[in-house]
Structure 1
Amino acid sequence: MESGRDCFLRYLLRGTAVSDPQTCLDENDDLRRSLGMAYFLADSHDKQDVLTFVSDTLPLLLRQLQRTTRRERIAFQGQIRGRVDWPATTKARLQNEVNPALYVCRPPLRQDNTPENQLLKFLLEAIDRLIRDLSLDMQNAELWTAVSDTHFPFSQRLAQITFHVRQALGHARLRPVETPEMVTARHLVKARASKTELYGLVAQLYDQYKVVVVDGRWLDLLPIFGRTILLPDPAVPLGDTCIQLAARGFVQARQA
């Protein structure tokens, strides 16, 4: 039986039956989404891909998550925390039968539920969901990259990504952060303008996610085909079509 690699080489030498890749994707939404999810997760390059982000960048970012500080009036008995609100303290003491040990203070309350952290949590949950939604046929594909001389199972890379993502989602400071229903311009602007420059990489990876997975246009996939190829079993559903598109994309990317 012909392997995915043999099938790919045959299509490189003889050409493919796919005359218009974009039309092929438009006519099969399952194929378009599957390719987008798989190549977003598989993309391997020397700048910023999913695995590099979750294994290298994410641990650093979790140690310096952005916080906001606000102050609320809180009454304390016999102790002072933060600044004392003397007018409120005097009023409270009079209302409590002249209690000299009562202080109304405004301690700094730190919150992690910032737009930057919401964007991060949205992205991590999206990555985790993509891996769970990816078909077993695609998870078991051979992964070939420009940065490695040999192929290895795509499932191996997915397992590494899953480990780091779920570890981060269990982080004590990230758990209380709300996941937005959708990412807005405010999330992205805040991330790019943050004093913590690593948030800029979060915004950058989200942009890649939107372009490759959500939009899923052929021209946006092309740069990835030039450095990353996924070869599923040609005998499985959509396997042969995925290999044809990989061969077509590889040739187009190298000619660009």
Structure 2
Amino acid sequence: MKRSLTRETLVEETTAELLAYLLNGEINTTALTQSLDYEGLDIRDWDRIKRIHFCLTEDVQDFITALPDRIRRIKTEHQREHVETQGEVRGSIDWSSTLRDWSDTGYADQSRYVCDTPYTEYNIPENRVLKRLLWKIHRTVTTELEDIDYDWRREYWTDEQINQFSRLYKQNVHLNRITDGQRLTVTGQDLTAARRSRLTLYNDAHALYDTFERLHADRFDPDIVELLGETLIAPTSTPRLFELFCVFRITRLLNEYVPGFQLQPIDGDTGALATLKTDDQRIEIYHDATGNLSFHEVLDADDPPEHSAFKRYYDSVFDYRDVLSELTGDKSDPVLYRGRPDVIIEIYETGDTVDQLQSVLIGEIKESEDYQVFKQGLEELLRYRQFATHEGYLIESSDVSVSNLLITNGVQTSGVSDVVTHLNGKDLVLAAENSDQESEWLQNMAGALSTSSVESH
């Protein structure tokens, strides 16, 4: 029986977990943007992520593809305006206004006329909705997506599609007669007019505009959840996808099966991906972040080690600092160690004034069934354990228990360690499907967390 999870399974499982958290507001979207980590996108803004995913949807693709033909039948209104002319007539003469003007000027110039001049009005409600929507899409495609030179982007927007849409938006004679989208304000009456229009162009524009606004407002209605489910995970690399799956599944299992703790809505003020609380304790879950810990050890220039081998390493670090500065002008800290675990779980006792760190779980996640990768992950994990600091080294603190979790995608180990708990990704799938597996997994997790207040269900 294959012990590893396929990419298809990871996409399905991770999407389901993520959308459930988004639906309930139980995940920090600011931290989430770092976890998604799309190739070519350096984004720390959840609103930008949502704009991009809106433009990746099939509905937007279909709307833009059909736009060149539809725009030829754009709706306008024929109106008249009073225009004063000199020696010419434009439209029909408004004799009442003209005679009044002559009388006011003592009939000095009877070559002046007030005319009802016909004109075509493009700034009607339906077109305001259309132009504002196209501005939102055009801005995102040209500023967020166009310069990304990766295959996943071209699967959604080819270079030719972007160029064609940009030319249409900037040069189409009909669109140019509508106020610039950036300066438009769309009202409820405008949206109603677009929704009730007999033209499919405006019905679809209204539907997409409404979808965008609800997505922007984090209103995760069923269709918004479906939209995110179709686009949110797919471009992510498989190793990152596996990390997300593991962190999301750990979070759900802690929420469902550790007595007393419940996931809390995230207000954005914390760097944690998710938070669980009881009346007197709090669990903070971090992905690809150091949380409130530090994994950074700087060498002291005035305190070289006595051992000759360590002394040579010490000297090489300072040599690198000095030579790098001489050759390039760049600065480099003389660092003994710098690291960042894949997952950190911190447990605090909460009080009226001070929250006391009680327990820490440090986790490393490897999307591999290769034994050498397992050993690499184990080595990294134990190094994190030794260098983790929180007001002093955790490993040396009797007040804080430190536990270690290594998750791989298919590696099987036959032994048991008191220091490290090893799980397979498939164990996390089975834990959510089978009550016996739930009990076994939670016993491992409870042991890994090493806190008397967290017991298996």
TM-score (norm 1): 0.66
For 1:212-245, what per-residue CA distance to the aligned partner results, in whole angstroms no more than 9, with x for missing partners?
344263854432366666323346xxx5379759
What CA distance in whole angstroms lies between the structure 1 residues aligned with 2:91 and 2:188?
35
One-letter identity of the residue aligned with 1:104: V
What CA distance in whole angstroms lies between the structure 2 residues aligned with 1:33 and 1:121?
21
What CA distance in whole angstroms lies between the structure 2 residues aligned with 1:54 and 1:87?
49
Q: How does 1:72-221 map to 2 (within 5 A)?
A: 72-77=82-87, 79-93=88-102, 95=105, 97=107, 99=109, 101-134=111-144, 140=150, 142=152, 153-156=155-158, 160-161=161-162, 163-178=164-179, 179=181, 180=183, 182-215=185-218, 217=220, 219-221=222-224
Q: Which of these residues, 223, 226, 249, is aligned with residue 226 of structure 2?
A: 223
What CA distance in whole angstroms lies between the structure 2 residues aligned with 1:140 and 1:128?
19
One-letter identity of the residue aligned with 2:195: R
What CA distance in whole angstroms lies between the structure 1 residues aligned with 2:108 and 2:125?
44
- Aligned to 2:178, the other structure's residue is in SS state coil
Match of 2:8 in 1: 9
What CA distance in whole angstroms lies between the structure 2 residues aligned with 1:165 and 1:56?
14
One-letter identity of the residue aligned with 1:111: E
What CA distance in whole angstroms lies between the structure 2 residues aligned with 1:25 and 1:84?
66
What CA distance in whole angstroms lies between the structure 2 residues aligned with 1:87 and 1:136?
58
Cα distance change on mapping 1:163 and 1:135 into 2, 3 Å: closer
Cα distance change on mapping 1:241 and 1:199 into 2, 3 Å: farther
One-letter identity of the residue aligned with 2:209: Y
Could you tell which deviates more after superposition, 15-24 or 186-195?
15-24
Could you tell which deviates more after superposition, 224-233 or 160-169?
224-233
Cα deviation, residue 116, structure 1: 1.8
Cα deviation, residue 200, structure 1: 1.5
For 1:140-161, what per-residue CA distance to the aligned partner results, in whole angstroms no more than 9, with x for missing partners?
3637xxxxxxxx63342x7515
Please tell me whether the aligned partners of residues 43 and 227 of structure 1 are also in contact (alpha carbons under 8 angstroms).
yes
For 1:173-212, what per-residue CA distance to the aligned partner results, in whole angstroms no more than 9, with x for missing partners?
3224333554321220121233544212110111122233
Please tell me whether the aligned partners of residues 191 and 199 of structure 1 are also in contact (alpha carbons under 8 angstroms).
yes
What CA distance in whole angstroms lies between the structure 2 residues aligned with 1:219 and 1:195?
27
Q: Which has the higher contact order (CA 8 A, sep 6+)?
A: 1
- Aligned to 2:85, the other structure's residue is in SS state strand
Please tell me whether the aligned partners of residues 118 and 177 of structure 1 are also in contact (alpha carbons under 8 angstroms).
yes
What CA distance in whole angstroms lies between the structure 2 residues aligned with 1:64 and 1:51?
20
- Aligned to 2:173, the other structure's residue is in SS state coil
One-letter identity of the residue aligned with 1:11: L
- Aligned to 2:227, the other structure's residue is in SS state helix
Match of 1:51 in 2: 61
What CA distance in whole angstroms lies between the structure 2 residues aligned with 1:65 and 1:202?
13
Please tell me whether the aligned partners of residues 82 and 114 of structure 2 are also in contact (alpha carbons under 8 angstroms).
no
Cα deviation, residue 126, structure 1: 0.5
What CA distance in whole angstroms lies between the structure 2 residues aligned with 1:193 and 1:58?
22
Cα distance change on mapping 1:125 and 1:244 into 2, 3 Å: farther
In percent, how many aligned pairs have the same letter?
Answer: 22
> What is the alpha-carbon root mean square deviation over aligned residues?
4.0
What CA distance in whole angstroms lies between the structure 1 residues aligned with 2:210 and 2:243?
24
Please tell me whether the aligned partners of residues 7 and 238 of structure 2 are also in contact (alpha carbons under 8 angstroms).
no
Larger strand percent:
2
Match of 1:254 in 2: none
Please tell me whether the aligned partners of residues 129 and 205 of structure 2 are also in contact (alpha carbons under 8 angstroms).
yes
One-letter identity of the residue aligned with 1:8: R
Q: Which of these residues, 29, 41, 44, is aligned with residue 55 of structure 2?
A: 41
Match of 1:252 in 2: none
One-letter identity of the residue aligned with 1:21: Y
> Structure 2: 5+ residue runs without aligned partners?
37-45, 250-457
TM-score (norm 2): 0.40
One-letter identity of the residue aligned with 2:89: I
- Aligned to 2:176, the other structure's residue is in SS state coil
One-letter identity of the residue aligned with 2:124: T
Match of 2:80 in 1: 70
Cα distance change on mapping 1:69 and 1:29 into 2, 3 Å: farther
One-letter identity of the residue aligned with 2:98: T
Please tell me whether the aligned partners of residues 10 and 241 of structure 2 are also in contact (alpha carbons under 8 angstroms).
no
Please tell me whether the aligned partners of residues 11 and 241 of structure 2 are also in contact (alpha carbons under 8 angstroms).
no
What CA distance in whole angstroms lies between the structure 2 residues aligned with 1:140 and 1:21?
29
What CA distance in whole angstroms lies between the structure 2 residues aligned with 1:25 and 1:219?
20
Please tell me whether the aligned partners of residues 36 and 221 of structure 1 are also in contact (alpha carbons under 8 angstroms).
no
- Aligned to 1:128, the other structure's residue is in SS state helix
What CA distance in whole angstroms lies between the structure 1 residues aligned with 2:224 and 2:98?
63
Please tell me whether the aligned partners of residues 73 and 106 of structure 1 are also in contact (alpha carbons under 8 angstroms).
yes
Pairs aligned (count)? 224
What CA distance in whole angstroms lies between the structure 1 residues aligned with 2:51 and 2:6?
22
For 1:97-144, what per-residue CA distance to the aligned partner results, in whole angstroms no more than 9, with x for missing partners?
56554432111232212222221111111112222453689873637x
